[in-house]
Structure 1
Amino acid sequence: MALPAVRTLSPTERWDPFREFETLFSQLGRYSREAAWTPAADVTETETDYVVELDVPGVQREDVTVDLNGTGLSITGELKERENKGAVRHSTRRTGKFSYRLSLPRNLDADKVEAKLADGVLTVTVAKKDVAKPRRIEVTG
């Protein structure tokens, strides 16, 4: 029966658990380049709108698709890899396809949706349906 090899550290070398995780995630990343990633997002609600803001730096307007199907908001796109002039020695930039999905409440107005891309942030604004506001009715007689 063979015993597993044990690697000992020299007195000048210290074990760094963070380096181990960095190496592991780097290796896993090579196998999942085709998997879609999810951008960071904030979803806020105002009196009149639902606002979704996604961080998508480097994404071009023509590489983003926003779909509203019923109450389901779907945002997909691609961050294309830049052409490098030299050999890449290390890269932690995200590239490839991304996807973000969200279910909104039913009181939305599907005809009033805007999407703007500025400074690396995609802002999708979905208007709420006009709801009858309370008001006082004068009694006449």
Structure 2
Amino acid sequence: MGQANYAAAKAGITALTLSAARALGRYGVCANVICPRARTAMTADVFGAAPDVEAGQIDPLSPQHVVSLVQFLASPAAAEVNGQVFIVYGPQVTLVSPPHMERRFSADGTSWDPTELTATLRDYFAGRDPEQSFSATDLMRQ
């Protein structure tokens, strides 16, 4: 099962950061989000114990993988990177695209009749699997 409380808190942090990026960008202040997929004391129950890795290799969930992205974002080279969301998992850094408008539904008249809107949205979503929604884990598998 997911951790709804944890996910909601992280979504709030993301929204706050993106709002700060918009508001402060005009002053040269950049704010970005890093979502580390990392094995820490807090995630031990989720990810389990670190596996044995070969000499010279790093656990894919080691927090060490996040360091290079933090260094980049803190450097002058990232001066134009603002309001972005990154996921770090092992040697992968994934840039998450912001929510976008998928489809616009317009009423025939000046407002929607509940029955008409129900029919329109029911038809649009017909055949979709309600269990298939956004998942950062699925994003990392692409």
Q: TM-score, normalised by structure 1?
A: 0.23
More helix by share: 2
Q: TM-score, normalised by structure 2?
A: 0.23
Over alpha carbons, which structure has the higher Rg? 1
